[in-house]
Amino acid sequence: MRFMKKILLSLFGILLIFTCAACVNESPEPWIELETTEERTLVKSEVINGIAFNFFSDKTCEIMEYDVDKLIDGSFLQLPDNCEEYTVVAIADGCFRNSTLLGVILPAKLERLGDYAFQRSTVQEIVLPDTLTYLGKEAFDNCDNLEKLTLGSGLERIPVGAFYSCRALKELVIPEGVRIIEEEAFADLASLEKLSFPESLEEIGPYAFWNTGIDSLTFSIPEGVQKIGVNAFRSTAWLRSQSAEWVIVGKGVLLQYNGTAQSVTLPDTVRYLSNAFDSKKVKNLTLPDTLGDAAEDALAESGLEKVIYNGTNPTLKALIK
Q: What is the DSSP letter of 170?
A: -
Alpha carbon distance 111, 98 (integer Å): 22
Q: Where are the beta strands (DSSP E) in 183-309?
A: 194-196, 203-204, 227-228, 246-249, 253-257, 263-265, 272-273, 284-287, 293-294, 306-309
Q: What is the DSSP letter of 7?
A: H
What is the structure's pLDDT at 113?
98
Question: Could you say which of 178, 207, 242 is where a domain stops?
Answer: 242
Q: What is the mean pLDDT of residues 214-229?
A: 89
Same domain, residue pair 74 and 153 = yes
Same domain, residue pair 165 and 95 = yes
What is the structure's pLDDT at 217?
65
Same domain, residue pair 270 and 173 = no
What is the structure's pLDDT at 114?
98
Q: What is the DSSP letter of 113?
A: E
Q: What angle do CA 82, 97, 192 make, to 5 degrees?
A: 100
Q: Which of 113, 224, 119, 128 is nearest to 173 (CA)?
A: 128
Same domain, residue pair 28 and 102 = yes
Same domain, residue pair 253 and 104 = no
Alpha carbon distance 245, 222 (integer Å): 20
Q: Which helix (H) or strand (E) holds 65?
A: strand 60-66
Q: What is the mean pLDDT of residues 195-215?
A: 95
Same domain, residue pair 252 and 203 = no
Question: Could you say which of 218, 242, 266 is where a domain stops?
Answer: 242
Question: Could you say which of 242, 275, 299 is where a domain stops?
Answer: 242
**DSSP reduced 3-state for 237:** helix
User: Quick one: pLDDT band at residue 124, thresholds 50, 70, 90?
Assistant: very high
49 dihedral zone (left: phi>0; alpha: psi -120 to 50; beta): left
Q: What is the mean pLDDT of residues 216-227?
A: 88
Average pLDDT over all residues of the chain = 87
Domain count across the chain: 2
15 pLDDT above the threshold of 50: no
Residue 310: domain span: 243-321
Q: What angle do CA 142, 147, 153 make, to 5 degrees?
A: 90
8 pLDDT above the threshold of 70: no
Same domain, residue pair 193 and 213 = yes
Same domain, residue pair 306 and 287 = yes
Radius of gyration of the chain (CA): 24
Same domain, residue pair 112 and 130 = yes
Q: What angle do CA 213, 252, 237 make, to 5 degrees?
A: 15
Higher pLDDT among residues 76 and 244, named by residue: 244
Q: What is the mean pLDDT of residues 13-19?
A: 40
